[in-house]
Structure 1
Amino acid sequence: MNWTVSYFNERVQREITEWPVGIYADYLRLLLLMEEHGADLRLPHSRAMGDGLFELRCKGAEGIGRAFYCTMVGREIVILHSFIKKTQETPDRELKTARKRLKEVKHA
């Protein structure tokens, strides 16, 4: 049984589709891997951020993108938040947004 991918809202999905083409292509490649094999990717493709939050690590010639996601019962992956990295560290506000959305999804 394959996994399904959904998005926290349309804005999250739209923002990812507007990523630079190289980063977006890597995102789609990693998404296909997760749909087929599940969300249990490891570094360098994904990293656990704690409390059920994961970071999908997308790269392209144009830079680096990050998509935060969680898993739900029934083999569902929910993309919660995304951004293009501009610094080495993940900005606190991006992580806070993802964690807030994780709580909303898990307690809905």
Structure 2
Amino acid sequence: MVHFQYENYSRSFFSSSSGQEPVREWLKSLTRDDRRSVGEDIKTVEIGWPIGMPLIRKMDTKLWEVRINLSDGRIARVIFTVADADMVLLHGFIKKSGKTPANDLKLAKTRRDNVLREQEGGKR
């Protein structure tokens, strides 16, 4: 029998060098119902990590996406990394095609690398 240890993760927003939090700003642009849907799914991940499909899909090393169904059949994605016990929300967007756009994935990877570099620098 395999036992899984679930941990509660805290959630934080990626912050740029200028202090902007792009995911928080994106969330504010959504309707109240859409924000609620995003928040509920992120909370599920915080409480039950690790989680797999269909809610979470691994995108790259230390990079996952939360797959969120919004009203009117729209689909949102929030890409995050995990640093220690912190779920860092890196990028959020409304998905318009079957595949995650390369520029969205590249942006999330750059932000992930910044977060992990800061984490390593803080441990020294």
Q: TM exceeds 0.5?
A: yes
Does residue 50 in structure 1 map to residue 56 in structure 2? no
Aligned residues with identical type, % of pairs:
26
- SS class of match (1:43): coil
Work out whether residues 27 and 35 of structure 2, in 8 Å CA contact, stay in contact via their aligned partners in 1. Answer: yes
Does residue 16 in structure 1 map to residue 27 in structure 2? yes
Q: Which structure 1 segments of 5+ residues have no match?
A: none
Does residue 6 in structure 1 map to residue 15 in structure 2? no
Does residue 68 in structure 1 map to residue 82 in structure 2? no
TM-score, normalised via structure 1 length: 0.88
Q: Please give the root-mean-square deviation of Cα atoms over the aligned residues, in Å.
A: 1.5
Work out whether residues 37 and 70 of structure 2, in 8 Å CA contact, stay in contact via their aligned partners in 1. Answer: yes
Q: Which structure 2 segments of 5+ residues have no match?
A: 1-6, 16-20, 119-124
**Count of residues paired in the alignment:** 106
Structure 2: distance between partners of 1:48 and 1:58: 14
Q: Which has the larger radius of gyration?
A: 2
Give the superposition deviation at 1:13. 0.9
CA deviations 1:13-37 (Å, max 9, x no partner) are 1202322444322211112212222
Give the superposition deviation at 1:107. 0.8
Counterpart code for 1:6 = S
Structure 1: distance between partners of 2:86 and 2:92: 18
Give the strand-richer structure, 1 or 2. Answer: 1
- SS class of match (1:107): helix
